[in-house]
Chain A
Amino acid sequence: MKVNGFKKILGGVAAMALVAGVSFGASGCAKSGPAGSKTPAGTITISGSTMLYPLNSVWAVKYHKIHPDVTVSVAGTGSGFGISNAANGNISIGASDAYLTKAFKKQYPNLVNIPVALDDAQVIYNIPGIPNSANLKMTPKMVADIYLGKITNWNDPAFKKLNPRYNFPNLHIFVVHRADASGTTFDFTSLLTDTSREWAKKIGISLSPAWPVGSGYLGSDAVVAAVKSTPGGIGYVGLGWVLEYHLSSAALLNKAGYFVVGSVKSIAAAGNSALKEGNFPADFDKSIVWNVSAKDAYPDSNFEFWMVKKQQPDAAAAKSIKDLIKWALGPGQSKKYTVPTGFAPLPKSVMGNVKKLLNQVQ
Chain B
Amino acid sequence: MWDTIFPYLLSGISVGGQYALIAIGYTMVYGILRLINFAHGDVFMVAGIIMVYIAASGLPLWLCIPLVLLITVAVGFLIERAAYRPLRSAPRMSVMISAIGVSYMLQNLVLYITGGLNKQYPTIPGISDTVAIGAAKTKVVTVITPFLVIILVVALVMLINKTKIGMAMRAVSKDFETSQLMGIKINNVISMTFIIGSFLAGVGSILFFTNYPTVIQTSGAMPGLKAFVAAVFGGIGSIPGAVIGAFIIGIMENIIKGLDVILFKAGVISAPLGLATFSDAFSFALLIIILVVKPTGLFGEKVTDKV
Chain B associates with chain A: no
